[in-house]
Structure 1
Amino acid sequence: MTRVEGARDPSALIQELAENDIQTFDKPSRDDPFGDLKNRFSRFKKQICLDNPVLYNNLAQAQTPKFMVIACADSRVCPSTVLGFQPGEAFTVRNVANIVPPFEHGPSETNAALEFAVNSLEVGNILVVGHSRCGGIRALMSAEEDADVGKWVSVAKSARLRAKAAAGNQCFDMQCEHCEKESINGSLQNLLSYPWIKQRVVEGKLAIHGGYYDFVNCTFEKWTLVYRENEEDAFKYGIKDQAFWS
């Protein structure tokens, strides 16, 4: 068994892993959380990977995804499953409440992923996907800003204010649903605070989209953000190509 001790050089762990014998368990115990994963991997290898050698050989050389997807970390919301993305089609980052912080907020893993997807991979579309019954949005609407989750989602507090203003007379669940969509649009606008994103949008090389997955009713809404650079602030943003899939 590999022993992980405090303050060890990671290279020492790699060496130890290399020296250990790899054990294969054909009949994992019921308590082994990886037993089912092993079977799933075997099916994936036999039924998908080995049946598509050209695709996977090409992916071994490079990736050229058309989409960058920013989705929630919620275990019920897997964009590849919901939207059927195949390997190589979508560069994906997931965080609590699918939030895009503004550029001036400073470095984060989402910012780094955006920079890589837009500047290196040159994706043509960014899709921010929110969803129903989002725990992060409920924390935002509850103004729970003491915990780490609350501090993170507070980036989207303007969405909470808009939701309260528009749906303050409705029940809390409906306010949260309103905020889930407000937060998506807030993230779409935040994307344009990144200079390299704004430039490519203005040049027509990049499109920004919002999506909302209602997993209770299994429906999906999508829309595209319109940015008018030379208009006054009140008219800079619009929506087009809105669709509802049921």
Structure 2
Amino acid sequence: MAAEGQEILARLKDGIRRFQTEVHAENRDAYLKAGSTQQQPHTLIIACADSRVDVETITSSGPGEVFVARNIGNMVPAYGEMLGGVSAVIEYAVSALKVKHIVVVGHSDCGAMKALLSPSSTDSMPTVKSWLTNGQAALKVASSLGAPDEKPSEKLHRLTEENVLMQVAHLKTHPSVAGALARGDVSVSGWVYEIGTGEVRIAEDGSRVFVPVIEAKR
């Protein structure tokens, strides 16, 4: 193993030790319960694979509370187009785990959104380029709504929101989700997480407006 790789592995081991002695030890009962009972998460969260987005921390969730799927651009292929890992996670979460809520989470400074705005940036990554076709409809909507003199940062902001809304729409094409929605067994929402400030804006089901979750005053 290269020296840099060994250094990184050593850092990861240190992190594991801190988890064992601090986080796990302080929440021992919760982990014992999670390890001895079947998981019953209340929410499925579909998030970007970006390493800066930690949905368990953002939502202050403990072990067993949220079922998480991550991929580049927090994409949800419409049912039947790219049946694979994301589709399987959705079906399992709704049909087997009986989650009550589903969230699609986008975030600021998203590399996938930047790639949609600059297609040539993924020319050397054909698999990534193919995957990002799931965001083309959102790109079209964002482009049609933007002003001619819109700044690059404004375009990125708009596309990030439109992509979340489009993936929520794709989510509803999955039979398991469509059935659960019709029965009133599940609800959905779209979120945008601002990495720098910690702000989370939520568009509840049926809304195109992302409303900030305001910190409660003490």
Please tell me the TM-score bracket, short chain as reference.
Answer: 0.7 to 0.9
Question: TM-score scaled to structure 2, two decimals?
Answer: 0.87
Return 5+ residue gaps in structure 1 as ranges.
Answer: 2-28, 227-237
Is residue 129–residue 210 contact of structure 1 (8 Å, CA) maintained in 2?
Answer: yes
Please tell me the residue identity of whatever aligns with 2:30.
L
CA drift at 1:57? 2.4
Using the TM superposition, give the Cα deviation of residue 55 of structure 1 relative to its aligned residue in structure 2, in angstroms. 1.8
Which residue is equivalent to 1:189? 169
Give the Cα–Cα distance (whole angstroms) in 2 for the partners of residues 197 and 240 of structure 1: 22
Q: Which residue of 2 aligns with 1:95?
A: 71
Whether the 8 Å CA contact 1:91–1:117 is kept in 2: the answer is yes
Could you list the per-position Cα deviations for residues 39-77 of structure 1 after superposition, in whole angstroms to 9, with x for gaps in the alignment?
221221122323434322221221111111111111111
Shift of residue 31 of structure 1?
A: 4.9
Q: Retained in 2: the 8 A contact 1:223–1:243?
A: no
- The equivalences for 1:98-177 within 5 A come to 98-144=74-120, 146=123, 147-169=126-148, 170-177=150-157
| Distance in 2 (alpha carbons) for counterparts of 1:89 and 1:241 | 24
Q: Give, as a single letter, the amino acid of the residue that structure 2 aligns with 1:84.
A: S
Q: Is the 8 A contact 1:97 1:130 kept in 2?
A: yes
Determine what percentage of the aligned residue pairs are the same residue. 26
Question: For the Cα contact (< 8 Å) 1:127–1:210, is it kept in 2?
Answer: yes
C-alpha distance after superposition, 1:140-188 (max 9, x if no partner): 1223474322211111211101111111420222112101100000011
Q: Which amino acid aligns with 1:149?
A: V
Specify the code of the residue in structure 2 equivalent to 1:46.
T
Q: Please, what TM-score do these two structures have when normalized by structure 1?
A: 0.77
Higher CA-based Rg:
1
Contact preservation (8 Å) 2:165, 2:208: no
- CA contact under 8 A between 2:48 and 2:106: conserved in structure 1? yes
Whether the 8 Å contact between 1:139 and 1:149 is mirrored in structure 2 is no
Q: State the Cα distance separating 1:125 from its structure 2 match.
A: 0.7
Structure 2: runs of 5+ lacking an equivalent: none
One of 190, 196, 200 as aligned partner of 1:210: 190
Q: What amino acid does structure 1 have at the position aligned with 2:128? A: V
Displacement of 1:189:
0.8
Amino acid at match of 1:141: L
